[in-house]
Structure 1
Amino acid sequence: MVTPERAGMRQSAGFRGLVASLPIVTGYLPVAFSFGLAALQAGLPASTALLISALVFAGGSQFVMVGLLSGGGGLLTVLPTVMLMNARHLLYGAPVAALLPAGQPRPPAPALAFGLTDEVFATAISQLPQVGPADRARWLIGLQLGAYAGWLAGTASGLAMGVQLVAQLPLLADMLAFVLPGLFLALMLGLGAGWLVPASCAVVVTCLLLPRLPGAVVVPLAMLAGAAAGACVQRKEGSGVVA
């Protein structure tokens, strides 16, 4: 039987996850703002840009979508490209699922998978082990909801005010370009030494393939390689195997 005290603890787990999302939201707001601005400058309707953020929820892929759509690309061009770029997310589920104890109630897998962005994954991997097993699913949902809300809010702000702000502050557009790489770097440093293997793997794959293949193909392949390497490291650590 779930007592009122226990129910309150589980509710607070979701709130703690929401609080844990604040660093992600801080990084998402300017990136999503930049996306809203880029979508307007590419001639997309504001409603379409907001719908893309709501349904895709993947920063790099959304910028690629804007470029392809504004260049006249059709669904046969846009969808495979976006799916390839987001394929690395398929590798994120297993390490996170391993941290959610069996037998505990959890939201449906598609709901958890939708919010598992790069930044949410990095935060979950580093902080979920410190959350009580019974509270982890609620904490993760809170983390994902906060990140999602921040992304939508940033997109809406860019659509509403982006053009006017850039007209008054021309350097703003250049500054926004550094926010996403800075966010990735901060999250990787927060993982400690755990980011070295996947990052090194991605760099090696990039160096090997870039002279032979287009950048649009190399980048998602390098992401997949890095994500696979990170998943292997997590699996070895979880099974007690010392590399």
Structure 2
Amino acid sequence: MSGRYSGAFSRGVFNSFSVGVGYLPIGFSFGAAAVQSGLPETAALLISMLVYAGASQFLLISLVTAGAGLLTAVPTVLLMNARHLLYGPTLVSAIPEKHAKLGSPWLAFGLTDEVFATAMSRLPSVAPEHRDYWVLGLQVGAYIAWAGGTALGVVFVREVDHWPEAVRDGLGFVLPSLFLALLLETGLRRWWASILASVVVAAILCSFVATHHALALGILVGALSHGLVSRMARE
């Protein structure tokens, strides 16, 4: 890697700090939960290093410990991560083809929700000829934080029960707080319509349907409202 690209890579690693701060405790939670569920420590580490699927990993250990076979667990995890099929083309379109030095496989593995959100908000400030190496640095930093957090969870799983209850309860709020931090980083004013629509719809539907259905429908309405506002602004 030449000096001009190593600088972009290093900047990407530095910009991954906001994602990594959230990934460390989430990865820790996964490592601890996996070992407590009966998975071997090596298996817990390998899942984070090879699957690297965030919330889907928690679903995976739930299915495995419940006795689900590979024919059930693998398609379920793949379906849960199908949204990444939309992330890829969107991210690639932000990297001009004439400046792309890395093939798609280099950028595909590390593309998570948080990496995608950070990349789409910061890429406009990165020079087009440096964007692919910057994205790679962003992904590497986030990956190290996730795998490192899992390793810490595996090592210190026996100490978790001795932690203050407030700290243990706080681990469950790390993922929502990470998404909130990323949202604040991109700027609330830009997304006010979709945020308001999502919150109102989800809050109302929670009284009538299961919470996870209300959240999914709220997200859908929020996305549609953002598209409508953007279209009206262009006209």
Q: With the length of structure 1 as denominator, give the TM-score of the two structures.
A: 0.81
Matched position secondary structure for 1:87: coil
Give 1:127's aligned amino acid: R
Q: 134, 142, 157: which is aligned to 2:137?
A: 142
> What CA deviation, in whole Å up to 9, does each residue of 1:201-234 have, x standing for no partner?
766589769967894xx4896598489759968x
User: Whole-Å Cα distance in 2 between the matches of residues 90 and 202 of structure 1?
Assistant: 23
Query: Percent identity at matched positions?
Result: 44
Give 1:19's aligned amino acid: F
Q: 178, 186, 209: which is aligned to 1:183?
A: 178
Q: CA deviation at 1:198?
A: 5.6
Structure 1 unmatched ranges of 5 or more? none
Q: 69, 76, 96: which is aligned to 1:74?
A: 69
Q: 1:98 to 1:197 in 2, by over 3 A?
A: farther
Q: CA deviation at 1:155?
A: 0.2
Q: 151, 154, 160: which is aligned to 2:155?
A: 160
Q: 1:197 to 1:176 in 2, by over 3 A?
A: same
Give 2:162's aligned amino acid: A
User: Whole-Å Cα distance in 1 between the matches of residues 130 and 190 of structure 2?
Assistant: 24
Question: Does structure 1 residue 128 correspond to structure 2 residue 139?
Answer: no
Q: CA RMSD in A?
A: 3.1
- The correspondence of residues 23-102 of structure 1 with structure 2, limited to 5 A, is 23-102=18-97
Q: 114, 117, 127: which is aligned to 1:119?
A: 114
> What CA deviation, in whole Å up to 9, does each residue of 1:168-222 have, x standing for no partner?
434332110011100001111222244456656766589769967894xx48965
Q: 160, 165, 168: which is aligned to 1:173?
A: 168
Give 2:234's aligned amino acid: V
- Kept after mapping to 1: 8 A contact 2:193/2:222: no
User: Whole-Å Cα distance in 2 between the matches of residues 200 and 169 of structure 1?
Assistant: 35
Q: CA deviation at 1:108?
A: 2.0
User: Whole-Å Cα distance in 2 between the matches of residues 10 and 226 of structure 1?
Assistant: 40
Matched position secondary structure for 1:92: helix
Give 1:59's aligned amino acid: G
Question: Does structure 1 residue 242 correspond to structure 2 residue 234?
Answer: yes
> What CA deviation, in whole Å up to 9, does each residue of 1:42-64 have, x standing for no partner?
11111111111112212210111
- Kept after mapping to 2: 8 A contact 1:30/1:176: yes
- Kept after mapping to 2: 8 A contact 1:199/1:226: no
Q: 1:78 to 1:226 in 2, by over 3 A?
A: farther
Structure 2 unmatched ranges of 5 or more? none
User: Whole-Å Cα distance in 2 between the matches of residues 92 and 226 of structure 1?
Assistant: 19
Give 2:25's aligned amino acid: P
Question: Does structure 1 residue 13 correspond to structure 2 residue 8?
Answer: yes
Q: 1:220 to 1:137 in 2, by over 3 A?
A: farther
Q: CA deviation at 1:8?
A: 1.8
User: Whole-Å Cα distance in 2 between the matches of residues 196 and 69 of structure 1?
Assistant: 40
> What CA deviation, in whole Å up to 9, does each residue of 1:59-88 have, x standing for no partner?
210111111111111112211221121111
Q: 1:175 to 1:67 in 2, by over 3 A?
A: same
Q: How many residues align?
A: 232
